[in-house]
Amino acid sequence: MLKGKHILLGVTGSIAAYKAAHLIRLLVKHGAEVKVIMTPLAKEFISLLTLATLSKSPILVDFFDPENGQWNSHIDLGIWADLYLVAPATANTIAKMAYGIADNLLLTTYLSARCPVMIAPAMDVDMFLHPTTQENIQKLKSSGNIIIEPREGQLASGLEGKGRMEEPEIIVEKIIQHFTAPATLQGLKVLVTAGPTYEPIDPVRFIGNFSSGKMGYAIANELANRGAAVTLISGPVSLKSESANIELVPVTTAQQMYDMALKYFPQCQAAILAAAVADYRPKHAVSQKIKRTDDSLTLELEPNPDIAAELGKRKQNQILVGFALETDNHIDNARKKLQAKNFDFIVLNPANEPHAGFMSDTNRITIIDKHEKVETFATKSKQEVAKDIVDRLEKLLKP
């Protein structure tokens, strides 16, 4: 059930580290590829040999291998992983993660990981209940991490209470659930627009924007995971679509995105417009490179077609979902767009917050529907945000 999935397991210095062996066995049994990072203290609790044998991969502890100097790249590990599971997670590691301290490989990898992160705390009851630990856990939750709550029970200290790491079987079950959503959208076709558009000025220059496409691609993946047939019309991005259920239609300009959206929309039951479409394009794109002179240069711009407004006019019984990226008057501006473009709901995200918007791996959204109902969500990874958006769409498609 986890075939082809790359799971990175971070093990910290808790007595529960012995459970990492069982966790790895279960993950491998379900077909996952596992790599393990340990903190230096974790080595005292369970042997490298045990975990390396079970994961069929050398265990990573240091930034580089002291024998041959080979660099263990936290960036490559973070990109390789489909999921980073930190289990067991001590109070110390949780605190460091919450505050961005990066003094070992497990922590630097956490900061550079682009995938969802699950954290399974394990500690003594008083450490767990301490307000500082609780605050740190809240902080991690609100930046999009998934916390696997510890259990009540007998602890290594002899005390009774909450702090036992969740059992490996349950953790693996949660991981399987995370990757395999039920095919609730089977038989439906959904159009998604994503990424920026580039509007040529001359053969080597364009007007564009900082959209990374991450939000739109996460939505397309989530729809595809639930069995929908997705047409993903994407501006230029450095992402890949990950599912056989996604038909990728690459475009460059707003006009091309408009043409493709109009072509595919009639066959779709819904469209989610996550693209950051350029509102204007140069009126005269020239065929030769513009040369530098000492004079100032004026570019005349003309408006691009508004894809969302046009689909809003043409929609029959389809659900239309738009985005609003705002720097000010967030709710008011989003409401105006919702009405003007005939959306069924609009996803508002702030453009001027550190963990939200264009380049970020996380987002903080508010959904406003056409009945003026406003729902605000916590900051989460874009994959988790995509689930919230698709959940809402699913309710409208299957009331």
Cα dihedral 181, 187, 188, 190, rounded to 10, equals 80
Sheet holding 83-89, edge to edge: 33-38, 6-11, 83-89, 117-121, 146-147
Q: Which range of residues in 49-57, 136-144, 302-310, 352-360 is near ligand CTP by CB under 6 A?
A: 302-310
* Binding flag, residue 386, ligand CTP (CB under 6 A): no
* Binding flag, residue 365, ligand CTP (CB under 6 A): no
The angle that helices 214-225 and 382-397 make with each other, rounded to 10 degrees, is 50
By CB under 6 A, what part of segment 173-212 binds ligand CTP? 193
Type of residue found at 35: K
Best CA proximity match to 143, nearest among 110, 172, 188: 110
Question: What's the closest the beta carbon of residue 344 comes to ligand CTP, in angstroms?
Answer: 12
* Binding flag, residue 304, ligand CTP (CB under 6 A): yes
Conformation bin of residue 73: beta by default, left when phi > 0, alpha when psi is -120 to 50? beta
Phi then psi dihedrals of residue 242, to 5 deg? -110, 5
User: Parallel, antiparallel, or unpaired for β 151-154 and 160-164?
Assistant: antiparallel
Of residues 224 and 274, the one with the C-beta less far from ligand CTP: 274
Best CA proximity match to 108, nearest among 56, 71, 134: 71
* Binding flag, residue 231, ligand CTP (CB under 6 A): no
By CB under 6 A, what part of segment 254-293 binds ligand CTP? 254, 273, 275, 277, 279
* Binding flag, residue 337, ligand CTP (CB under 6 A): yes
Question: Which residue from 323, 335, 387, 393 is in contact with ligand CTP, where contact means CB under 6 A?
Answer: 323
Of 72, 92, 209, 333, the active-site residue reads: 209
Of residues 83 and 260, the one with the C-beta less far from ligand CTP: 260
* Residue with the CB atom nearest ligand CTP in the bound state: 307
Number of residues this chain uses to bind ligand CTP (CB under 6 A) = 16
Q: Is 209 a catalytic residue?
A: yes
Task: Give CA–CA dist 63/42, Å, rounded.
Answer: 15
Residues near ligand CTP (CB under 6 A) are 193, 254, 273, 275, 277, 279, 304, 306-308, 322-325, 337, 341
**Residues noted as catalytic:** 209
